[in-house]
Amino acid sequence: MKKKNIYNWTTLLAVALLFIATGTACDQNKNDKKASVQIVEQTEVTQTDLEALAKVMPKYSSVSGFSEGLAVVCDKETDLYGFIDRKGNEVIPCQYYDVSGAFSEGIAVVYKSSEEWSLIDKKGQEIASFDGQYRPGFHIGFHDGMMAIFNPEDEKEGYIDKTGKVVIPAELDMMMCNGPISVSFNDGLCRRYDYDSQKSIFIDKTGNKVFECEGNAEVFSEGLAAVSRFSSDNDDFVYRSGFVDKTGSETIPFTFKHAGRFVDGLCWAETENACGFINRDGKFELTGDFKTLILDEDIECSNYPLCPTFSEGLAWVCNKEGKFGYIDKTGKVVIPFRYEACYDDESELYYHQPCYDFHEGLARICDKTTEKYGYIDREGNEVFPCQFEYAEDIKEGVAIVERDGQYGFIDAKGNCTFDMGK
């Protein structure tokens, strides 16, 4: 979506946050790996809705995906931003200089000018206004009732609540790119990183420290957080990952080269001798001819390990030949290893992830040759061939896509507003 570049770090953060973005989990019976898979119910989107969206698309120069029933749009004539619903109605007029992110927890961040921004509700009513002393934090949006802000003069961060009240003063060091980080609250805690001591500090909603641990921690998932730290290995210092609980106690030893996050009791991890999914005891339950692919995004925050998670009962994995496919929770290959990440021979680095999580029955894929996106179903059938320069996950029944420089929507049934607009 086109932005006015109010500050130029947004793109960097978007990539950093890509690898902690949460997928929808499915229920797992711990005593039965063949437990039934719960597919996320698709939001009902009618043919009439898609036709209405197709009709209004030419009015806008850019559009976002839907969040909480609304999508951000930019009017071609005025270059101002507003919101539409899934029927194409402009429910909040295009009157803003900019909009920073979609609605989260019923609130959106909008700019009246390059300096003045506000919080609004889904009726467009202003909740609170800020005159430039603070800017929205890099991870824009409310999480657990809190949103990060920062002072552009001294680059210190703090937090506001959903009324706009500053509940944690902007006195915290700015959290820049330091691996796949998040400065959002999750289950009442927020992780901060102290660069001097190389420790992760978890604070509560009053700003008080709950605990700290050595190393670079990620957010909590199912009560555990992965932490990476330097360890001594044969007189050499290497990075190793383990897990801590919400008291900061080590629950899984620091023996892994890479580790992801827990979903349904399973977490991707890799050692020198094994790669696959571990349980909460740190024992491998699913292993195979797998490896962790290191992805380079050619920006300051680069070289991230791709750690898969299960979504709707399936997980994409990479084999040692660098090809991607999908397995189920028994380890069975459901969709063959036929997708490849784009590779740059000069830098000898991979870029463009070829497979993504399932959402509402569809998963994005990226073609290695054309670097365009499409969608497959749970059997691996192409619902949409790789034809989009840009594509997002299905959310609330639709996904935003871009083709030939134009934005449109697709649904999970194989319909596309581009075709309806012809």
Q: Which two tokens stand for residue 357?
A: 């999580």
Q: What value does the mean pLDDT take over residues 169-188? A: 72
The pLDDT assigned to 214 comes to: 93
Q: Tell me: pLDDT of 315 over 50.
A: yes
Q: Which residue has the tokens 């009439």?
A: 48
Positive or negative, the Cα torsion across 290, 179, 26, 392? Answer: negative
What is the pTM (predicted TM-score) of this model? Answer: 0.83
The pLDDT assigned to 276 comes to: 96
Please, are residues 92 and 109 in contact by the beta-carbon 8 Å criterion? no
Top pLDDT among 83 and 183 is at: 83
Full DSSP string of 16-50: HHHTTPPPPP---BTTBTTPPP-PPPPPP--HHHH
Domain count, the chain: 1
Q: Tell me: pLDDT of 293 over 90.
A: no
Q: Tell me: pLDDT of 179 over 80.
A: no
Please report whether residue 101 resides in a domain. Answer: yes
Q: Tell me: pLDDT of 176 over 90.
A: no
Paired residues of 382 in beta bridges: 376
Residue 53's domain comprises: 10-420
Q: Which residue has the tokens 């080590």?
A: 250
Please report whether residue 180 resides in a domain. Answer: yes
Largest Cα span, the chain: 66
DSSP state, residue 309: -
Top pLDDT among 23 and 181 is at: 181
Please report whether residue 367 resides in a domain. Answer: yes
Please report whether residue 3 resides in a domain. Answer: no
What CATH number does residue 370 fall under? Answer: 2.130.10
Please report whether residue 357 resides in a domain. Answer: yes
In angstroms, how far is CA 268 from the centroid of its own chain? 17
The pLDDT assigned to 234 comes to: 57
The pLDDT assigned to 178 comes to: 43
| Distance, CA of 289 to CA of 286 (rounded, Å) | 11
Please report whether residue 119 resides in a domain. Answer: yes
Q: Which of 105-109, 305-309, 359-363 has the lowest mean pLDDT?
A: 305-309
Please report whether residue 1 resides in a domain. Answer: no
**Nearest residue to 225 (alpha-carbon basis) of 249, 203, 257, 205:** 249
Instruction: Report percent pLDDT > 90 for the chain.
Output: 64
Helix %, strand %, coil % of the chain (to 5): 5, 50, 45
Mean pLDDT, all residues of the chain: 85
The number of CA neighbours under 13 Å toward the Cβ of 123 is 3
Q: Which two tokens stand for residue 225?
A: 């957080």
Tally Cβ neighbours within 10 Å of residue 188. Answer: 15
Q: Tell me: pLDDT of 152 over 70.
A: yes
Please report whether residue 5 resides in a domain. Answer: no
Q: What value does the mean pLDDT take over residues 233-252? A: 85
The pLDDT assigned to 1 comes to: 47
Q: What is the dihedral of CA 98, 130, 152, 92, to 10 degrees?
A: -20
